[in-house]
Every structure is written in C-alpha cells, then in structure tokens.
Amino acid sequence: MVAGIEVIVLARETGSMMKEIIYGRCGLSRGLLRRMKSGGGVFLNDRPAYITQRVQAGDRIWLEFADSPTALPAEKMPLQILYEDEWLLVVDKPPCIAVHPTGRFTDGTLVNGLAYHWESIGLRSKVRLVHRLDYETSGTVLVAKEPFTHRKLIEQLAAGSLRRHYLAAVTGSLPAAAGVINAPIGRSTDPEEPPLKRIVRTDGKVAVTRYRVLRDYRTFALVEMCLETGRTHQIRVHLETVGCALVGDELYGVRSPMIGRQALHAWFIEFEHPRTERLVKVRSVLPVDMRALLRAESRKG
C-alpha cells in the first residue's frame, strides 16, 4: 500500500492554489507536508507539482507520504484482530503483555507482533499506536497503518471525540451511581514512590473520567468508565482520589487473591474513520480471568 491522499478538485475550487485545498478540505498538517517533501511528493494529474500551482475543476491531486518499515523486530504471535481495513486496525490486547518495548520489556510486545503482521500482509510501514494500555490492562488498542490516518486519529483523541470505554471491578464506594471525576493528573514527586506513580495535583494535566455503576457485587462493583482525556493511569488515579481502587491493583490499591492483575478491560472504542468518515464501533468481550472473577463473586453469599 502506498500511503497518500487522492483529491479531485471541485468546481468551486477552480483557480485555487493546491495548498488552499491541502490545508483546507484535506486538513493536512504541515508536519505531514514535510513528510511528503522528505520522500513522498505532491502530484497534479500524475505529474510532480508545487503546492502553489493553481488547479481546475476535475484535476486530480495526489499527496504521497514517505514511510519506512518499523525498526522493531517482528515476532510471530497470535493476534486477536477485532477490526481491520486498508488504513487501520483494532487489536484485542491480552492481559499482562506490554504494548511496546521498554527497558523492562524488550521483546514479546504487542508492537512486535504487529510488526510481524505488517510483514505478512506486505505492509512497509511503521506500527503507529494511537493510544496505549497498561501492561496488566486488557482490551482494544487502535493502530494506524499510515501517517495521515494516525494524525487524524490523534487529533480525535486530543479533542475527546475518540471514545474509549472500560469495564472495571472497583472496590470502595463511588460518590454516586453515575458521575464525572474531573481532577488534574501529574507525576508523583515523592522519591519513595515508584517512578510511574501518578497523583492528582493542581498543576497537573486536565483529566476527565465518566463512570456508571453497572452492577454491585459482594465486595466490588462492576463499573463502566469512559475516558474523555488520556492521561497515564487516569482511571486508577481518579478512583484513588475518591477512595476507590481496581480489584487487584497493587500500585494504587492492593493485590487480590481473586485475580492476578488489575481488573480493568478496554471493552469498547468508537471513532470517526479518517478515510471513510464513517463511525466505527468495536467491542471486545471480557477476558477469561475477569469473567471468572464475576462468576466467583456472584456465587458468594
């Protein structure tokens, strides 16, 4: 697949410079334009062109992006792909697998598996994650196959129009059956705390989480949580600030004998497809360990 955008000039755009269409109707960023200049190109009716050239109705503009294969090693692994097309995919991340290599996890990550998938379908492109999940969190991860789609999805994420819903087993008493937690999040400055620990702080970044209690169990509640922002550990920090915690969350609560990780699953994602402009909704079923947790708790009493 060659990454690019095709634009047919409209009658009302006759006489316009190409850059007016590129920055206007296409919504192309200057960063992507620089990417074209460093290996891609701008073409008018299949010929190299300058963005200052004027166009006529019916002209074909082709914007081609430079790209290169990911430098990360490709590793064959089972992937549960929930949705895939020419431009993006949604993959179901299992619990206790890293999304991308870090100092702690140098291989065997989701990105390594996606690099192998890219090779298997003949895609010479970087693996572009739109968002990430914690190591223990399971569920939907959105990945772009080319730079334009990635940029547009990142813009939706920043604007809050890319919706991510989680299912969480939560201990403690939430303030209400449904509500909003609005509290800025930043790094902890306590040298005794783990480096990844986040806290609510007045000079932190804006963070908003909506929640709704779906069912009360004996020792926890099943809660749907929707992120309006995407801060590190947002759900976990926001639960802590109202006196709650995820079942099994050792960093912000306590480990649980009922499940070997934090009980958090990204079950639903919704976004506007950057290419087709259609609304895409993708769901993931609860993994085995969280289903077992709910069954075990429902049998108590």
pLDDT at res. 39: 55
Q: Is 134 a catalytic residue?
A: yes
pLDDT at res. 1: 54
| Multiple choice CATH, 4-64, 3.10.290.10, 2.102.10.10, 1.10.1060.10, 2.40.50.100 | 3.10.290.10
Q: What whole-number distance in Å separates Cα of residue 164 and Cα of residue 93? A: 14
CA distances from 15 to 6, 9, 56, 62, 220 (A): 18, 10, 6, 17, 64
pLDDT at res. 148: 87
pLDDT at res. 77: 95
pLDDT tens across 29-43, in order?
776 666 665 556 888
Q: What are the residue boundaries of the structural domains of the chain, listed by start?
A: 4-64, 80-298
Compute the residue count for the chain: 301
**Considering 59, 67, 92, 134, which one is annotated as catalytic?**
134
The answer to whether domain 4-64 and domain 80-298 are alike in fold is no
pLDDT at res. 258: 94
Helix (H, G, I), strand (E, B) or coil at 175: coil
Strands 279-283 and 264-272: antiparallel
Residues of the chain with pLDDT under 50: none
Contact present, 287 and 265 (Cβ < 8 Å): yes
Q: What are phi and psi of 213, to 5 degrees?
A: -75, 125
Q: What is the CATH number of domain 80-298?
A: 3.30.2350.10
* Nearest to 137, CA basis, from 96, 103, 108: 96
